Amino acid sequence: MEEIYQEFIIELYKNPLNFGKMANPDYKAEVQNTTCGDMIELYIKAKNGVITEAKFAGKGCAISQASASLFTGYLKGKKLSELKNITKDDVLALLKIDLSKNPTRMKCALLPLDALRKAMK
């Protein structure tokens, strides 16, 4: 089963969803994993307290890029007030692979969450 999800992540890496920079975002942040150099820029637009659009740009491994791709889709439709309740487990559930034994890849997977927290400050 994990092999299927690995293929899923590679496909998202090759063809990411919500990829690209956004003009005039309401919230924006850039974060980097200093261990490996992966970088994510997160862009968010909101209207009436609800996220209407989320995009990302950046470079890095398949895990960080797939995570950002899935995470931006996950954010759409969420209330701004809900964002502080998003946990690392929520992000990891989107990827559907066990990274508990790989702390370096865990950091890569959580880059979009780090970007969200930075953007919301």
Residue 90 has pLDDT above 50, yes or no: yes
Q: What is the pTM of this model?
A: 0.92
| Residue labelled with tokens 């995570």 | 67
DSSP secondary structure letters along the chain: -HHHHHHHHHHHHHS-TTBS--SS-SEEEEEE-TTT--EEEEEEEEETTEEEEEEEEEE--HHHHHHHHHHHHHHTT-BGGGGGG--HHHHHHHHTS--TT-HHHHHHHTHHHHHHHHHT-
User: What domain range is 73 assigned to?
Assistant: 2-119
What is the CATH number for 51? Answer: 3.90.1010.10
For helices 111-119 and 88-95, what crossing angle results, to 10°? 140
Of the candidates 36, 66, 57, the one whose C-alpha atom is nearest the C-alpha of residue 115 is 57
Give the pLDDT mean for 52-57: 98
Count of structural domains, the chain: 1
Residue 1 has pLDDT above 80, yes or no: no
- Are the beta carbons of 14 and 5 closer than 8 angstroms? no
Give the pLDDT mean for 91-96: 91
Residue 108 has pLDDT above 60, yes or no: yes
Residue 2 has pLDDT above 80, yes or no: no
- More confidently predicted of 73 and 98: 73
Residue 83 has pLDDT above 90, yes or no: yes
Strand order in the sheet with 50-59: 27-32, 39-47, 50-59
Residue 95 has pLDDT above 60, yes or no: yes
CA–CA distance, 6 with 18 (Å, rounded to integer): 20
Residue 118's pLDDT band (boundaries 50, 70, 90)?
very high
Mean pLDDT of the chain: 92
